Amino acid sequence: MISRRRFLKTSLSALAFAAIPKISFSQSNPDVVVIGGGSSGLSVTAELMKKGKSVLCVDAMSRKGGRCFTNTSIFGVPYDLGAHWLHNFNFNQIAQYGKKQKDIFDIYKDPDTVMIYDGQKKIKGMKLYGLYKKLGKLKNKTKDDIPLSNKIKEKWLENEWFATAHQIRFPCESGKDIDQYTAADGKLNWESYGEGSQGGDGFVKQGYGALLAHYRQNVPVQLQTTVNEVKWDGNGVKVVTNKGTISAKACVITVSTSAFNSGKIKFTPALPIEKYEAYDAFSCSNYNHVTLQLKDDFYKEYKVKPDMYFTPKITTKGLKSPEGYCSTMNLHDSKISYFDVGGQFAKDLEKAGSKAGIDFVLQTLRNTFGSDFDKFYIKGHMTTWGKNPFVLGAWASATPGKADLRKNIKTSVADKLFFAGEATAKNYGTVHGADRSGARVAKEVLSFV
Ligand SMILES: Cc1cc2nc3c(=O)[nH]c(=O)nc-3n(C[C@H](O)[C@H](O)[C@H](O)COP(=O)(O)OP(=O)(O)OC[C@H]3O[C@@H](n4cnc5c(N)ncnc54)[C@H](O)[C@@H]3O)c2cc1C
């Protein structure tokens, strides 16, 4: 018999994507229009609603969650197309919410187990760890706003594990290669925030997107509503969408920096130049999941524990974007494994298409586990966030030399245009950071509306 706990857990996906109340524009014009129903937009909407404000949150996509969304149809198990790690686990307010919903969510700390391969040989990887630590130290110590590649030692490049350490520290952590990465921006995230990366990471078996959807289940979003223009001359704002024009006292913009930079939302009159400069300096980095569903026999034969990190040696030379991935295998024991690509290589692979991405990963697995590896393969999928017109990348990341402009992304304009989203958060590039940015902006809005 299906237990209550099991029933709740299995019916979760239905709840997460259940029909969302429709709001008609004729319902009268709201106090505030929120553009974007991702983590930050849902947060600002919830906070303003709590304070009795009328809010209309709109999103161009046909679902809530933005870059934090769990798909259950591709593999028949929860599959996070975007965010997956519950970062800052001990302090993450969304994880804390989920931990209280024991009937619905299985939330646990990242077991942090690793298997490293040099070709077909499983190794301890001490050389890799040594270099990985050096790159981490460099990242933390450097204050200069320059490409971090300017600071690396020539002899590190000769180390046979350089490309692998580069991959883990840069494309996987920031979606950027070391020559596009400025440690001055990293500083803001890991040090000025105080809590830094303490608390490690956690996972939620039902998917981070499903958890976010539950956390914000009472927040209505008007879907498939694309904002084309924000007119902010005169009184209040007029938000022009494909479904009509909404008048409001204020507007909160939560779209990704690259969606903003695409110019799809026109501002009339134009925003102050500093705003465009700041967004432009922080366009989105590149990061995608190539995901394979593999037979249980594979995980058994190679003793792959749930959520185990798999690191095969990458042989790309010098500073070139590493042609490889960071893999998390057998996610939550669901038999699907991520092979995450980042930086320029991710961009190239996205351009080449999903089949090329899956073929690339399969070839590396044949190289490691034998030419007959395909006997374990069931199905593959690759995300293409850079092609999603309403996101256009992974998360905001500083252009070297311009890290200081991040603070200008979040400044309000004329006491009626407000800016939230992961790029404006202290814990930027994360779901819980985006959520906190929504709470910050709600307070700001309340002093004017
Ligand atoms: C592959 C990948 C892996 C990631 N992994 C992690 C992770 O493990 N842990 C973690 O914490 N974070 C991770 N992140 C980052 C995290 O997903 C984001 O930081 C966070 O979800 C961003 O939320 P947001 O509200 O700022 O933006 P979004 O989620 O992008 O929300 C903005 C919304 O605006 C909408 N929009 C855009 N243009 C318009 C328009 N013109 N009209 C109407 N609506 C519009 C979009 O449709 C979107 O829904 C990952 C991201 C990616 C892409």
Indicate whether 361 and 255 sit together in one domain: no
What's the pTM value of the predicted model, to 2 decimals? Answer: 0.94
Instruction: Name which residue sits closest to atom 53 of ligand 1, judged by CA.
Output: 394
Instruction: Name which residue sits closest to atom 41 of ligand 1, judged by CA.
Output: 227
pLDDT digits (tens, 9 = 90+) for 211-226: 999 999 999 999 999 9
In a domain, 394, yes or no: no
Indicate whether 303 and 224 sit together in one domain: no
pLDDT digits (tens, 9 = 90+) for 115-150: 999 999 999 999 999 999 999 999 888 989 999 999
- The predicted pLDDT at position 426 comes to 87
How far is Cα 442 from Cα 440, in angstroms, rounded to an integer?
6
Across 301-315, average pLDDT: 97
CATH at residue 182: 3.90.660.10
430 lines ligand 1 (CB under 6 A): yes
**CA-40 nearest atom, ligand 1:** 25
Confidence check: pLDDT of 171 > 60:
yes
Please name the residue ranges forming H helices in 221-353: 257-261, 273-281, 296-301, 343-352
In a domain, 58, yes or no: yes
**CA-383 nearest atom, ligand 1:** 1
Indicate whether 272 and 292 sit together in one domain: no
Site to probe by mutation for ligand 1, drawn from 255, 267, 341 as the one with most ligand atoms within 8 Å of Cβ, is: 255
In a domain, 295, yes or no: yes
pLDDT bucket at 28, cuts 50 / 70 / 90: low
Indicate whether 87 and 218 sit together in one domain: yes
**CA-394 nearest atom, ligand 1:** 53
Domain end point (choices 365, 387, 409)? 387
In a domain, 140, yes or no: yes
CATH at residue 420: 3.50.50.60
Indicate whether 186 and 289 sit together in one domain: yes
Indicate whether 189 and 290 sit together in one domain: yes
Indicate whether 31 and 90 sit together in one domain: yes
**Residue 24 lies in domain:** 4-106+204-283+399-446
In a domain, 353, yes or no: yes
Indicate whether 131 and 183 sit together in one domain: yes
In a domain, 393, yes or no: no
- CB of 349 closer than 8 Å to CB of 278: no
CB-based contacts of 185-189 (< 8 A; 24+ apart in sequence): 185/145, 185/397, 185/398, 185/403, 185/406, 186/139, 186/140, 187/143, 188/403, 188/406, 188/426, 188/428, 189/426, 189/427, 189/428, 189/429
Indicate whether 93 and 209 sit together in one domain: yes
Q: How many domains does the chain have?
A: 2
Indicate whether 262 and 293 sit together in one domain: no
84 lines ligand 1 (CB under 6 A): yes
312 lines ligand 1 (CB under 6 A): no
Indicate whether 267 and 357 sit together in one domain: no
Q: State the distance from the centre of ligand 1 to the C-alpha of 432, rounded, in angstroms.
A: 11
Could you tell me which residue, 11 or 333, shows the higher pLDDT?
A: 333
Indicate whether 305 and 376 sit together in one domain: yes
In a domain, 86, yes or no: yes
In a domain, 126, yes or no: yes
